[in-house]
Structures are given as structure tokens and as C-alpha cells.
Amino acid sequence: MQYVRCLDNSGYEVSLTRGQMYKTLPDTSDSISIRVIDNEGEDYLYDAKRFESLKMSGEIAEATITVHVPLYVKGILHAEALAAHKSVSGLMREWLDERLDLPEIASQ
């Protein structure tokens, strides 16, 4: 899996947002295009010059996500964590790992 940042969305203003990150899919049709899942959720071949590859670094491991949920959702998460004998944070990390195909971070 690879992620890219859009540098040029001219002519594709609805499908691409300049500065936005996008997931790519493998495509072997040629070397000048990349298959990107765009704003419409569709995969489409775009000129690779419109994007820059995301370089993975240790900074990503330091990222923090804050999620604000209604009080009843907080209660449900707490109950699920208790039932699983985990912390809410641990439960959420596990859930993200299972559902998102995030790249592995090399330890420093």
C-alpha cells in the first residue's frame, strides 16, 4: 500500500483536492500513471506527476488522534473494553489495526 499527496488537481477539481492524501492501488498498465482512489471513492488512473509519494518516518508513530463521541458511545466503548479485558485505548488501537491497512513503522 502506498499513499500520495496531490500536488496538481487542475482539470480534476471535483475528483482531487490539492494537498489531500490519497491511497493508491497497484497498477501495471504503465509507468507514468498511478491508480488513485479519488474524492468520489473511485479508483482512476492519473498522471503520476500530479502527486508526490508519502515518505514514512518515525514521526507517524508519534501521532495522536482525539475522537469526540457522545456520552452514550463513550459508555458503550467502556463496556466493550471491560468485556474484552482491555483499556478503551487498547480496544481502539486493536480496532484500527484490524480495519485499516496502515503501513508498518520501522523502529528507530
Compute the average pLDDT of residues 85-102: 81
Compute the average pLDDT of residues 36-40: 93
Residue 61's pLDDT band, with cuts at 50, 70 and 90, is: low
Helix axes 71-83, 88-99, angle to 10 degrees: 90
Instruction: Give residue 5's pLDDT.
Output: 93
Instruction: Give residue 84's pLDDT.
Output: 85
- Strand 33-37 relative to strand 43-47, pairing: antiparallel
Place of cell 508498518: 104
Instruction: Give residue 108's pLDDT.
Output: 46
